[in-house]
Amino acid sequence: MKTRVKELRIKAQLTQQQLADLVHVSSRTIISIEKEQYSPSLMLAYRMAEVFGVSVEELCCLKENKELEDRQYEDL
Amino acid sequence: MKIYNKKNFASGLFSITLGLALLIAMLVTGNWRPKSVVLCVLCLLFGAESVTRALSRDKAIQDLIDQRDERNILVALRTKSTCFTVLKAALFVLCTACALGAAFHPVEEAKLILAGVLIVTGLLWFFSLVLELACSIHYENKL
* pLDDT tens figures, B98-120: 999 988 888 888 888 999 999 99
User: A24 and B65 in contact by Cβ < 8 A?
Assistant: yes
Chain A contact for B65, CB < 8 A? Answer: yes
Residue A76: pLDDT band (50, 70, 90) is confident
Q: How much is the pLDDT for B121? A: 93
% of chain B with per-residue pLDDT over 90: 56
For the segment B82-104, the average pLDDT, to the nearest whole number, is 93
3-state secondary structure chain A: CCCCHHHHHHHCCCCHHHHHHHCCCCHHHHHHHHCCCCCCCHHHHHHHHHHHCCCHHHHCCHHHHHHHHHHHHHHC
Residue B7: pLDDT band (50, 70, 90) is confident
Residue A25 clears pLDDT 90, i.e. is over it: yes
> Are the C-beta atoms of residues A3 and A36 closer than 8 Å to each other?
yes
Q: What is the CA angle B54-B68-B41, rounded to 5?
A: 40
User: B68 and A24 in contact by Cβ < 8 A?
Assistant: yes
Residue A22: name the closest of A57, A55, A56, A46 by CA: A46
